[in-house]
Amino acid sequence: MTRLLLVEDSEDVRETLAYLLDREGYEVRKAADGAKALDIFRRDKVDVVLLDLMIPEVPGIEVCARIRETSDVPIIMLTAKVGEADVVVGLEAGADDYITKPFSTAELLARLRSVLRRRVVRREEPVVRVAGLEMDVERHRVTVDGVAVDMPLREFELLELLMRNPGRVLTRRQIIERVWGADYFGDTKTLDVHVRRLRAKIEADPARPQRLVTVRGLGYRLKE
């Protein structure tokens, strides 16, 4: 049974979600504030976290960042905010995905299945497959729909990052830090150039990308 930590300060919302998730087979741990959430996380083995951003005691962003210090457990932010800046902050704190209130049960369950599926893909795996793309990391080989394509090192590293996080929105800052390094101070347009080159190799129509899509105001996502 998948153990889920639900962090939500509204009792009505918390109990409704807990009931629905329990009915779907999740073992739910509940917290009404950030301090309690961190206590439960330290004490219990948790498989996934649903984390409201606006919670008392310890803010949701800080809870997310503290969890990320010791764990790669999937985290989905629950937010009533729709501002791009708020979402970017949450993603850069380490959240895997976000969902804006109000949301449907079907959407929430789909997001949960998605982040839990992604966790199966580990960095140690030498061969990664996502949506018609196959990457053999040890042999530095990439195939697109079964056809081998040449790929320079930086494009290869960018594609590897995206393929190991399928479906996840990666902010521009996250990508630059993980591919170019945290000390990179160059023009961020470099990332855009590499994305264009990558699309030319993995998309049937680079002008209308279906695999590597732009999430306006946030970054990029490789569809599953």
List the one residue out of 38, 54, 61, 162 whose CA is nearest residue 101: 54
Q: Taking the model in full, what pTM does it have?
A: 0.66
pLDDT of residue 64: 92
pLDDT tens string 50-64: 999 889 999 999 999
Helix, coil or strand: residue 208: coil
Domains and CATH numbers, the chain: 3-118 (3.40.50.2300), 127-222 (1.10.10.10)
What's the CA gap between 170 and 177, in Å, rounded? 11
pLDDT of residue 205: 94
pLDDT tens string 89-140: 777 788 888 888 888 888 899 888 877 876 655 455 788 889 899 999 878 8
Q: List strand residue ranges (DSSP E) for 117-211, in order.
A: 127-130, 133-136, 141-144, 147-149, 170-171
Whether the per-residue pLDDT at 182 is higher than 70: the answer is no
Q: What angle do CA 49, 54, 59 make, to 5 degrees?
A: 75
CA distances from 187 to 170, 180, 195 (A): 18, 11, 14
Whether the per-residue pLDDT at 21 is higher than 90: the answer is yes
pLDDT of residue 27: 94
Residue that the structure tokens 């959430």 belong to: 37
